[in-house]
């Protein structure tokens, strides 16, 4: 694969532009190539085409049923916006590009301003791969500069994939919806990924959960869309012990270099807003001071009443800052969860004694987030068939989709029905006896 052939130059460029560690970038490049191979497997397997057959029923009364065959085709050219925090896996050759190409859609990718040279190198590798396979060069294009609005508004574009801020996503969504021909925009934008700490788990292993929480909170200087920014923590001595352990762990961690000046400035402003919010108490900061373009870890605490009274505390602070909300048991969890906006993830830390309380909250959690996980944190997103990386607004602009996993491909497909087609005019996938797909045939006799 051409990305692997150019891996040394790509990783070196990404490190220089983003300050992300080389080992992290090498792993991210592997994830990028893994995504491409994953979608290649899906194409070979064939079920993505959604082939369906309804056999004709000429004898049916009062009217015969025609021969109906369905498949899904690509929607057309897709605009993809590279993400700041994943210069490889969610950028030029990332999941949106891979899934759009797998759906048969040309891609026009908007390079992120935080890593322009890395984007250029990846685009060269894609171009080389397309040329080697004999594909037209226009299947993939890279654009740079302040052209995002124009790209979404361009009449040739038929869908948009976006990973970025809520402000940027909503602005582009308005353009996509106000076009003469509106188009779908699949935007991943904002999530604070609540963590629920149930009493049994707190009592038996609160200190270890606290250490794992801080590690997840500060991973990659907190610049993950699945960063656990909000913790629902019961009042009482066990909750106090968790808080103290988390503060102790966080106080050992130094500031880290953030992706861009703008992200660092926004992080500082978000932390300052928490510091000045009524009822919010600063618990601790990381070790030392923050240097140029650096974010210092921070942890805050607030009562459930003060949290519910200030919707601004729900706003994502993109970086290594967390907010503990002290709740009155499971009933308090419910009150906070009912007030939250849509999320990418919710994490539940529980023991067997907590299962009944968790079961009571599950219907609410299912409506709140795209992924619910137990005894872990959401900062790892597996590329797999069952993965959902999406959620209700504002986590994403369309909660029916995912930007990671096999279903990501379906964002860029639409169904077409072929009625009473001559065999020689049918697409190959819809012809009788084609082994490439195993269509679901329905003779419809039970529905006569």
Contact 321, 343 (CB under 8 A): no
The sign of the CA dihedral 26, 31, 32, 36 is positive
Taking alpha carbons only, the member of 49, 72, 69, 53 closest to residue 414 is: 72
Contact 69, 418 (CB under 8 A): yes
Taking alpha carbons only, the member of 301, 300, 274, 296 closest to residue 286 is: 296
DSSP for 245-279?
HHHHHHTTPBPEE-S-HHHHHHHHHHHHHHHTSTT
Question: Cα-Cα-Cα-Cα dihedral of 237, 240, 245, 250, to 10°?
Answer: 180
* Residue in 17, 28, 105, 188 annotated catalytic: 188
Helices marked H in 219-236: none
Q: Is 265 a catalytic residue?
A: no
* Residue in 225, 301, 316, 327 annotated catalytic: 225
d(C-alpha 97, C-alpha 293), whole Å: 30
DSSP for 370-432?
EEEEESS-TT----SSS-----TTTTBS-TT--SSSGGGGGGGEEEEEEES--GGGS-GGGST
Q: Is 225 a catalytic residue?
A: yes
Contact 343, 364 (CB under 8 A): no
Taking alpha carbons only, the member of 413, 397, 411 closest to residue 173 is: 397
Bridge pairing between strands 281-285 and 298-303: antiparallel
Record the tokens describing residue 286, joined without a space: 């990381």
Residues that are catalytic: 188, 225
């Amino acid at each position: 694969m051409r990305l692997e052939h150019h891996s040394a130059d790509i990783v070196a460029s990404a490190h220089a532009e983003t300050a992300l560690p080389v080992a992290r970038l090498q792993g991210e490049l592997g994830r990028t190539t893994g995504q491409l191979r994953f979608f290649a497997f899906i194409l070979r397997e064939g079920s993505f085409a959604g082939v369906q057959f309804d056999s004709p029923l000429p004898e049916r009364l009062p009217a015969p049923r025609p021969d109906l065959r369905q498949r899904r085709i690509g929607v057309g050219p897709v605009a993809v916006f590279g993400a700041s925090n994943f210069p490889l896996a969610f950028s030029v050759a990332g999941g949106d590009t891979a899934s759009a190409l797998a759906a048969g859609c040309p891609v026009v990718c908007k390079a992120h301003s935080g890593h322009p040279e890395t984007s250029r190198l990846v685009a060269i590798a894609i171009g080389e791969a397309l040329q080697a396979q004999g594909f037209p060069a226009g299947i993939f294009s890279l654009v740079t500069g302040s052209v995002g609005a124009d790209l979404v508004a361009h009449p040739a574009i038929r869908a948009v994939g976006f990973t970025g801020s809520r402000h940027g996503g909503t602005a582009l969504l308005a353009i996509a919806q106000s076009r003469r021909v509106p188009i779908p925009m699949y935007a991943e934008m904002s999530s604070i990924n609540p963590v629920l700490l149930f009493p049994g788990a707190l009592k038996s292993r609160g200190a270890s959960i606290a250490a794992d929480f801080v590690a997840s909170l500060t991973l990659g200087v907190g610049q993950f869309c699945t960063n656990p920014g909000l913790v629902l923590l019961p009042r009482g001595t066990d909750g106090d012990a968790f808080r103290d352990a988390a503060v102790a762990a966080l106080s050992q961690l130094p500031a880290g270099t953030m992706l861009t000046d703008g992200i660092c400035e926004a992080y500082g402003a978000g932390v300052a807003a928490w510091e000045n919010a009524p009822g919010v108490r600063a618990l601790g900061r990381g070790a030392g001071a923050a240097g140029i373009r650096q974010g210092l870890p921070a942890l805050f605490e607030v009562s459930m009443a003060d949290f519910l009274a200030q919707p601004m505390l729900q706003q994502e602070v993109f970086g290594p800052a967390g907010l503990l909300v002290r709740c009155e048991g499971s009933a308090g969890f419910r009150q906070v969860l009912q007030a939250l906006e849509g999320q990418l993830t919710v994490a539940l830390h529980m023991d067997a004694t907590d299962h009944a309380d968790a079961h009571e909250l599950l219907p609410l959690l299912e409506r709140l987030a795209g992924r619910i996980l137990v005894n872990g944190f959401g900062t790892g997103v597996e590329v797999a068939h069952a993965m959902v990386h999406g959620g209700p607004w504002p986590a994403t602009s369309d909660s029916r989709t995912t930007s990671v996993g096999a279903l990501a491909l379906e964002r860029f497909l639409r169904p077409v029905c072929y009625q009473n087609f001559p065999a020689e005019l049918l697409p190959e996938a819809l012809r009788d006896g084609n082994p490439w797909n195993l269509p679901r045939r329905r003779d419809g006799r039970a529905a006569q």
